[in-house]
A and B are shown apart, each in its own frame.
With several copies, the nearest count.
Chain A
Amino acid sequence: MSLEGTDVAATDAVTKGGATNEDGTSEGAPLLTLSDVSKVFNGDLVALNGMSLQVRAGDFVSLLGPSGCGKSTALRLIAGLSHPTSGKIDWTGGQGAGDLGVVFQEPTLMPWATVAQNVWLPWRLRGKSYASVKDKVLEALALVGLEKFAGSYPRELSGGMKMRVSIARSLVTNPRLILMDEPFAALDEITRHKLNNDLLALRAKIGCTIIFVTHSVFESVFLSNRIVVMAARPGRVIHEVAVDAPYPRDEEFRTSSAYAAHCRAASDALHDAIGD
């Protein structure tokens, strides 16, 4: 039993891991724990070095950091697409393979399928006919403003539209955990704000957990309750910024002084990460 005791302590250390303030908004049960996870490519390229992170149910965690710091790599590890070189990823409640939505950094659409068929995919893989989920598909497309393009092929879409299809696909099943890798990077600021709001609304509705990669400090502050700031070469976590503003957040929050303060904190952390 003594062994178990030490373990719990160690886990706590992990939970409080990263550099900074674990805050009150993280109230859910622990969902997944990265313990000292490292990933080395080709034997010498350290993409991720000893990353520890605990995500609780209901968290909205943003990963922020310079290009090449291992954000996508971390997301891939969490998604189970790649295995850590060392360290462990623990899932509580066997969520691992379960109910997941994902947006890759590239749109990743099937070129032979129409937009609607692409969005249908997660349902299709659960054995649902198109007819039975047509409403959901169209709803998801409407969310990203593409209901008119349901019958188009990916090659007929603009870059931002492809990305929006990918976003619609990740949301169509109302998953409990969503991994998003720079989903809004290819969108104009207004559409981006709208989708930010929509995402928060969806989160409020279905109570999902989101791990979100972004380059925008503003976006990360607006959306998340925790910002994990990473640095490159070797990729590692250097700060964690807690955004303790309550949800729901709306356009008003964007103009609040708390928002500005958090932005400044996150921005400083990012400057730290880039080391200039």
Chain B
Amino acid sequence: MAETRMAETEAPKTRPGTKRIIDREEAARARRRRIESIGRWTLPLVVLVLMIVLWDRICVWNDIPKYILPRPGLVAETLWNDAPILFKALLITLRTTILALLVAVIGGVGLAVLFTQSKLFEMSFYPYAVVLQVTPIVAIAPLIFIYISSKIVGMLLCAWIVAFFPVLSNTTLGLNSADHNLRDLFNIYGATRWQRLRYLQLPSALPYFLGGLRIAGGLALIGAVVAEYVAGTGGVGSGLAFTILESSYRLNIPRVFAALILIAATGVVIFMALSLLSHLLLRKWHESALKRES
């Protein structure tokens, strides 16, 4: 057999011309791979540092006073000094966010499933989901808080309204995108509605759903902040919205930015967590998560 004869793996150096081309290619490939594996961590960091330096320079060059745009150093200092207040507030906002996201997922997926079960049901009720999405929270918040006595439930409802639509919309799309051959197969094997949903449509919808979830993650955070605004939680036990509001009224802008940075960082962390989740769930089979050669 051929391989026994050709045991010298790093093979013969024939035809130097040809050889060199391959070598250059291989070397380039190796180099690219090396750069990539380093870049994977350093580049984002470098960009982060650059962004911060740029922010700092912009402040200095344009002589921007700290009550308009504080320099990053000052924000970092504030973040450090005010950590106890800020992180307590963050925790509260985070709680609302996570609860809202959870409810958004349950509500969004639940509605999507209902909608795909019956076209007529979908046609009748989808518009109201859209209505919920486009209604300015600020305008209907009084109504919500009038009839829902628990502030927490009211806030959850507000954040949910903001966050649920992407989950609903993407999941519906996904449920309808199941491969038609597989759908036929399920029909033939006499799958019940529920089985088709469970074993075919839900897995097919997963990538779409996870996409919607990543959008909803950010929206839930915004929703939580907006909900705090309209619920007007003052005093102890209040979240980041309160901090931003009051600090900006008092022109304690460094603290506003510290709070904003916390929100932004939280958003990024939520996004990365959801991306990781998505990767873990899809890496075995979906195009978007598969590592491919070349």
Contacts and interface: CB of A to CB of B under 8 A. Distances in A.
- The answer to A–B direct touch (Cβ < 8 A) is yes
Given A125-B189, A125-B190, A81 B3 contact: no
B35 interface: no
A50 B285 contact: no
B1 A87 contact: no
Interface in B1-58: 1-9, 11-16, 18-19, 21-22, 29
B231 interface: no
Nearest to B195: A125
A191 interface: no
A104 B182 CA distance: 10
A11 B12 contact: yes
Given A110-B203, A236-B1, A8 B14 contact: yes
Interface string A68-88: 000000001001111100111
A7 to B, nearest CB: 4
Contact of B186 (A14, A17, A76, A125): A125
Given A122-B189, A238-B1, A92 B15 contact: yes
B187 A80 contact: yes
Interface string A28-43: 0000000110100000
A76 to B, nearest CB: 8
Interface in A76-133: 76, 79-83, 86-88, 90-92, 94, 97-98, 100, 102, 104, 106, 108, 110-113, 121-122, 124-125
Given A35-B12, A124-B199, A81 B5 contact: no
A260 B254 CA distance: 89
Interface stretch (B104-112, B165-173, B286-294): B286-294
A13 interface: yes
B241 to A, nearest CB: 40
Contact of A49 (B3, B186, B192): B3
* Contact-size category for A: 35 or more
B18 A91 contact: yes
Given A18-B2, A122-B189, A125-B190, A82 B12 contact: no
A36 B293 contact: no
Nearest to A123: B189
B63 interface: no
B17 to A, nearest CB: 9
B12 to A, nearest CB: 4
A237 B285 contact: no
B191 A125 contact: yes
A82 B189 contact: no
Contact of B285 (A91, A108, A155): A155
A110 B11 contact: no
Contacts of A112: 203, 206, 284-286
B123 interface: no
B284 A50 contact: no
A102 B184 CA distance: 10
B184 A36 contact: no
Contacts of A211: none
B284 A36 contact: no
A112 B206 CA distance: 10
B14 A36 contact: no
A90 B1 contact: no
A13 B3 CA distance: 11
A80 B29 CA distance: 13
A90 B6 contact: no
A166 to B, nearest CB: 9
B181 interface: yes
A83 B2 contact: no
A52 B3 CA distance: 7
Contacts of A237: 1-2
B200 interface: yes
Interface string A41-80: 0000000011111000000000000000000000010011
Interface of A: 3-4, 6-8, 10-11, 13-14, 17-19, 35-36, 38, 49-53, 76, 79-83, 86-88, 90-92, 94, 97-98, 100, 102, 104, 106, 108, 110-113, 121-122, 124-125, 153-155, 236-238
In the A-B complex, the 4 residue pairs with the smallest Cβ-Cβ separation, listed nearest first, are A50-B3, A10-B12, A36-B6, A7-B14
Given A50-B4, A81-B293, A94-B18, 4 more contacts: A18-B2, A52-B3, A90-B22, A104-B184
8 contacts: A4-B13, A35-B12, A80-B187, A90-B22, A100-B189, A106-B181, A108-B185, A110-B199
